[in-house]
Structure formats: structure tokens, C-alpha cells
Structure 1
């Protein structure tokens, strides 16, 4: 992204951008906006992985807003602070998705077009679950939720982050779909897509995400809950929760607590020292304290190191 990117110059998606080494995010709320934590997440991925393309897919409020009548891009969107920040990283592209075109011709086209998902109270979550897998199948790469703060380069582990799933907790019962890498056309994404097309349940919040991934791995690869050694699929690696989920949901308040107890702060930092990313649990933001970027919050301490440009513009969010 160039530093002087204009609103009408949002990057359109095209096949030349497909890359198994890419890191990508989907923001599916329809606001085409990022909050401070989300901007920090994308910046941290770009900062620590300068040799990898980082793609941020955004959903406009209406599909028609992506393109004008002559097929060129619309100037519907203004230039928000997060775009100014991310524009300073040459490996980042912000991409407005024309969903009609994106789902067209795919096994999920009928699901998207019949619109049952639009009637669900979980429509944003369901669209997110569906489109991330479709993106993996189309072009491969490392998908990250927009509340994953990157702490290290993903090249440091060699091929560790290629064709991998991550456990969402130390109990190793369910895989997260918030961090997942698959090469383009991988059988796992193809199988998940097949089931997503056949078994949509508008009332189920989590089935189309972690539960479905875990079900497929159990059926196809013999994975037994609590036993990572039970996996007999050699082309899918299983990573422990410590890589991205060292702090589980019930204890996530510690990330945003303004803690003046140096011992407690150091203990938490030691806990995440060997992690490659930290899940910030944005979905639980209603129980978290507001971000205080110059405080002793764990998030604030990490943000100053891993997303310095976002921190410098914190007052503008």
C-alpha cells in the first residue's frame, strides 16, 4: 500500500494475489472499519513478517459499494486512521470484497445466494466462518482472526506454520479456526467446504467453525480429543495452544487489567514468552476494561512493542 492511498484506490482482489505464504484477515461486520486492537493485530503481522504479503479483506455495507457501474472501484469510503497506519507497510493490502463475485462459482455459492444466513442472529460469525475457509481453499495462506496479536515472525518456525491447526485450549478438545494455515486446494479445506454447503444450521453459533474443523479431523485423521498424537494425517500439523492461546477465555481479563503489581505483570509476560501470537478475546470486550495505551495493561505493554504506529495514533481511534 502506498502512503498516499486515496479512498478510490482500495486494492481489488485478483488471482495474482494468491500466495500460500500470505497472511490474511477477514473483517465481516460490514463497517469496513478497524478498532485499535484490530489495527494493532494487522500491523503486528505486517511488522514481524515483512517478506510475507498481508491481506486485509473487508466487507462493505453493500456489495454494490465495491464497484461503480463501469466496473471500476468506487470512492465510497473515506480514509480512516487505520488505513493511514497500515499504508506505511508495503506488504499490506486492504481489499474490499465483492461477495457476489467472491462466492460465485464456488461450492458455497448456493449457501450465499439463498440468504438463509442473513436471517440468522449469528450472520456475521457465520459469514466469517464460511469466507475464511473459502479464501483458504481458493488461494491458501495463514488465516488470523483480527484479535490475534502477532509477537514473532512466522518464518522463525520453518515449516511449522504450513498446513497447521492450533488447539484452542490446553485440554486439546477443540481446534480453533481463528488461526489456520492450509495450502490452496488442500483436502481439509475442500472437505470443510463440502460440509458447510450441506449442513448449514442458522441457529448454531460455533458448529460451522471450531466444532466442524474438529469433527473433520476426528473423522478423517483419527484425532481423539486430548491426544494430539492420535493424528494420522501427515499433511496437517497440530500445534498446542501455547502458540496463540496461552491465556484462555476465563482469564482473559488479565490482558486488559491495569496492573501495578510488577510481579503479576512479569508472570503473565513469561507465560506468553514462547508464544507466536496472543489471542486478545475481542468477543469478550464487554467484560474487559477500556484500552489504556500508556498504562501497565498487558495489551498496552505488548502493543507499544508490536504495533508502534497504531499506538502512536491511539488517540485518533
Structure 2
């Protein structure tokens, strides 16, 4: 008996369709197995990670009450304390290693009274500590290197009031500083740092954290507080040190103009007259702080204190008659601020090279006014006063900067 042609064709199509459906089913089932296996492994990895970082859950205890066994209520676990950043090594989600900065108050190598140079980085300062990485520019590294290069007998401390960690590998500018054995990178917490000082109670009031200009105000506060605690030299991070500061007078500051002193370069001794001047600065700062006025503290503090200490309102009189200033030496503007802030571009213009070099020929330090110059891009190969000074006084940072400095 012959099978009709139409029936034969239909049977063949059904057979082909069945094979295709069976094949698709097998593939989809295989994918499900793979996906479920991956999910299971991911869940297991997460579970193991939690086990490594979490304390074991306390087991419920049993007690007997009137012959019956009853489970006690689960004890309430105390909230885990905030991270203290004391671990030397930690990793983020991407697996990059961080190194914790040592707290200045806890580190083994403490500042030796009067034998220090201090730099302060207050970007990111806040009341509660959070994990923040160091932010250091090539020009800031230049300032630090130049201080360490010319003052091997002093220890250079870079204090970070906001940052708590740095990358394990570091950025090229931090690596350039590793060559110098007298550089220390440290962090500080403002509340702990001020403990036992005349400004402790004022800090606890929290006024500084309500400042409209918290970063510069925190820097102003910390420079006077640091000199009160340890004594030594304070330098802004936008300077280049040109010569040794080791034999400078025990207490000094510098005039910026004929009407005002500046606080970008200062030195105060850890005892005696310098310590008293630092205490007066902290008192003045508290009395005149204005959260809405950028210039209420900073240069205004040392200017007011110097006028009282020297018993004169004339800056030139302070410079000419240091014996009237009770141990405080006031240098003229050529020492640290030979180029006024209104002429900051002279450091970055080739056409101003000779004029700028002549004006700063007797300076201990040049100050490049970062508030105005930080956005001024400068090619390393350009011949300017700043690149010329950088090549000589911070050669490693300059080399690490590459094409732009």
C-alpha cells in the first residue's frame, strides 16, 4: 500500500520540527545549568567574604524556667565603631591597594621641637573622618622636595587634615619624594590634634566647620596650632625653597606689603618667646574669626599680634628695629614675597625671566601665589623663572611632572 505523497511530506516536516525543538531544549537547559552554577559561585564568594569580615553571630542560649526549656531573646549587637584607618593595607572594590597614613599623634617618629618644617594640606577637611586619598600636585611636591633638599638637618612633615590614605604604588610625585629620608607624610584629626591646647574648647564648638571658606580657614588655624604644639618652620605648599633655612632666627615672619605681614613663611620656637607668640596668635584667631570673611584670620592674625608685640603699627618699624619686637624678627618683602601677588604671572612668562630672577636673587623662598596661578598650565621646556628654579631646587619632582609642570 502506497503512502499518499501529501502524508509523506507532512511526516517529514514533523520529524524535522521535532529534531529542531529537541536541540533548542538541550541548549537552553545547558545555559540554565551554567548560569545557575555561576550564580551559585558568586553567592558562595559573597558569603565567604562576609564570613571573613564579620564576627560570628552569637548563639542563643537556653534557660530553664519552671521545668520548661525556653530560648532567651537574641542579644542586640552593638553598632560597629567607625573605621580608624590604623590598618596598614586595605583594598577597595577594584582590588587596588591603599596604604594608611600614620596619625601624627601616634607615629613613632614624632616632630622634634624646633627641628621641623611643616606643610599643611587641608583640602577635604571635615569633622568626621572618611577614607580619602592624598591629592598632591607636581608643584606641591616641588615645594616639599625643595625644603628637604636644602635642609637635610630638619625633618619635613606634610600634614593632611583631610586625606587618610595613599595608593600603594603612589603617584609619580610622591615617588619622587621617597628619595629623601627627611620627609614624613602624616594625617591629623583636628579635634584630637587640638586637645590640650588653648584652642581646644573653641574647636569643639564647631565654628570652623561652618566656615564659608573652610579649607583656607582650616589651613590658617592649623599653621598657628602646629607651631604652638611643636615649634619650627611653617611653609605654604606654593613655595620653592632656594637656600637653607636652618640658621634662620628662632622666631620670624615676613612682610608682604608696607601695611601687612604674611603667614606663608613663619618660624616660632617651641618654648619661650616663640611659644608665647604662637599662643597669642591662637587667642587672636578665636577672637576675630568670621566664618563669612576669607581674610578674618591668616595674615591678619600675625599682623595684629606683631603690632602688639612690637608696640607699633608701622611694618617698616618692625623691620628696622627688631629689638623692639621681643624676639620676633620681621623680614622685608624681598625675603619671601619679592614678587607681589598682582604680578604672579611674572613667574610663568618667558618675557619676565630676567626681571623676576633679579627681584628674587636674595630671596630665601619664592611664593608663586597658588590661588591665582594654579590654573596656569606651564610646559616644562619653557624657560621661565619658575621652571628655572624648579629644575635646580626640586629636580626629581620636576622630572616626574613630564611635559607640563
Residue number among 302, 306, 325 corresponding to 1:233 in the alignment: 325
Distance 2:333 2:396 in 1: 28
Q: Show CA shifts across 1:154-193 (max 9, x none).
A: 13xx3x3420111113x2x211111110011411101111
Shift of 1:230: 5.2
TM-score, scaled to structure 1: 0.85
Match of 1:150 in 2: 241
Point out which structure has higher relative CO (alpha carbons under 8 A, 6+ apart): 1
Q: Is the 8 A contact 1:32 1:59 kept in 2?
A: no
Q: Is the 8 A contact 1:223 1:230 kept in 2?
A: no
| Aligned: 1:274 with 2:368 | no
| Aligned: 1:311 with 2:403 | no
Residue number among 162, 176, 187 corresponding to 2:262 in the alignment: 176
Q: List aligned pairs for 1:20-31, cutoff 5 A.
A: 20-30=114-124
Distance 1:310 1:37 in 2: 8
Q: Show CA shifts across 1:244-288 (max 9, x none).
A: 11100111101012x2x5xx42232122111111001101126x6
Residue number among 127, 135, 154 corresponding to 1:52 in the alignment: 154
- Decide whether aligned partners of structure 1 residues 306 and 26 sit closer, same or farther in structure 2, where only a CA change above 3 A counts: same
Q: Is the 8 A contact 2:380 2:402 kept in 1?
A: no
| Aligned: 1:300 with 2:393 | no
Shift of 1:150: 0.2
Distance 1:300 1:280 in 2: 12
Residue number among 240, 245, 261 corresponding to 2:337 in the alignment: 245
Distance 1:84 1:54 in 2: 16
Shift of 1:7: 4.5
Q: Secondary structure at the match of 2:325?
A: coil
- In the TM superposition, structure 1's runs of 4+ consecutive aligned residues that sit over 4 Å from their partners are none
Q: Is the 8 A contact 2:117 2:235 kept in 1?
A: yes
Q: Show CA shifts across 1:218-238 (max 9, x none).
A: 123213324333551231111
Match of 1:99 in 2: 190
Match of 2:293 in 1: 204
**Deviates most, 192-201 or 39-48:** 192-201
Q: Is the 8 A contact 1:117 1:126 kept in 2?
A: yes
Match of 2:276 in 1: 187
Greater Rg by CA? 2
Residue number among 251, 267, 280 corresponding to 1:163 in the alignment: 251
Q: Show CA shifts across 1:2-52 (max 9, x none).
A: xxx994363431483233021111111126321111110110000111111
Shift of 1:309: 0.5
Q: Show CA shifts across 1:183-204 (max 9, x none).
A: 1141110111122233321122
Q: Is the 8 A contact 1:36 1:314 kept in 2?
A: yes
Structure 2: give runs of 5+ residues left out of the alignment. 1-88, 90-96, 125-132
Structure 1: give runs of 5+ residues left out of the alignment. 67-75
Shift of 1:84: 1.1
Q: Is the 8 A contact 2:241 2:365 kept in 1?
A: yes
Q: Is the 8 A contact 1:107 1:197 kept in 2?
A: no
- Decide whether aligned partners of structure 1 residues 252 and 8 sit closer, same or farther in structure 2, where only a CA change above 3 A counts: same
Distance 1:50 1:25 in 2: 16
Shift of 1:111: 2.8
- When the two chains are superposed, the root-mean-square deviation of aligned CA atoms in Å is 2.2
